[in-house]
Structure formats: C-alpha cells, structure tokens
Amino acid sequence: MTKKSSFVHRVMVFTAAATVSSAALAHAQVSDPIEFTTAFPFTVGNTSMPAGAYEIRRDTDNGTVYRIESSKQHIGTLFEVEPTTVNKAPAKSEVVFKRYGEGYVLKSVWEEGSSEGVQTILTEAERHHVKNGGTPTEHRIAAHKHGKATTE
C-alpha cells in the first residue's frame, strides 16, 4: 500500500466510524417535543424553574443540547444531555426527577415505546442539592408528545 492509499484508507475508516457514531447518537434521543406539567418547582441544568406546564425539545443537530420552555410563563433554558437506555421501553412518555429534600432536579426524558432516552448531565446546581438534600428519591411525571392530550 502506498502512503497516499494508506492515508485515504484511514480517512475512509474514520469517516465511516464517525457516521455510525452520529447515527447511534441521533437515534438515542427524544425525537418529538414532550409536554408535561409539574406541581413543584425544579432545577434543570443550573436554572430554577417554577411549577407549571413545559415543553422539552432537542435544540441542536448534535443531540446533546435540549431546550425546556413554558410558553404561559415566558421562560425557558437550554440544558445538556447524554443518551441513556433502559431494558424495557416505557409504556408512556415520562419525565423523571430526582428529589433531594425539598429540591427537585430534572434527570431524564423518555418517549413511550422507546428504550432510548436522554438524561441530564450532573451540574453544580445538582451537586448543591445532593450536598444539602441527602438520599434522593425518584419522582416520575406523565408526559405526552406535543399536540397529543394525555388520558390521565
């Protein structure tokens, strides 16, 4: 193999690997906007959000930044996520919070029928809750895809 063909071969292998990795990341994310309502304030990323109705959607093409917004309260923020999976796909879309004492932190988002979701990355705000709140408990909120009413 010549130097030039060896270089071309390495570029082709790298490109193929990058394409497969991107496809896997793109698949492991929430594809539709998800809507939910909380009766409690919570933290997402490093931002405190009041109780209310929200919509979560992917903000960028790379799949690691999501946006949460409340159109009624005219607030929103961006937050970072990473892909995650479960063995059994949830029957309903849901948003999962961790409760530390009286503080809630948004941790993951799941779409019905998909074993792949997203989880928030650990932030300084969550570290503060961990330090002050003791052992966390999990709190799940039913969600639905944008434009679909829930049956609950």
Global pTM value: 0.75
pLDDT tens track, the chain, 152 positions: 555 555 444 444 444 444 444 444 444 467 789 999 999 999 999 999 999 999 999 998 778 999 999 988 899 999 999 999 999 999 999 999 999 988 999 999 999 999 999 999 989 888 887 887 678 899 999 999 876 554 44
Q: What is the largest CA-CA distance in the chain?
A: 66
3-state secondary structure the chain: CCHHHHHHHHHHHHHHHHHHHHHHHHHCCCCCCEEEEECCCEEECCEEECCEEEEEEECCCCCCEEEEEECCCCEEEEEEEEEEECCCCCCCCEEEEEEECCEEEEEEEECCCCCEEEEECCCHHHHHHHHHHCCCEEEEEECEECCCCCCC
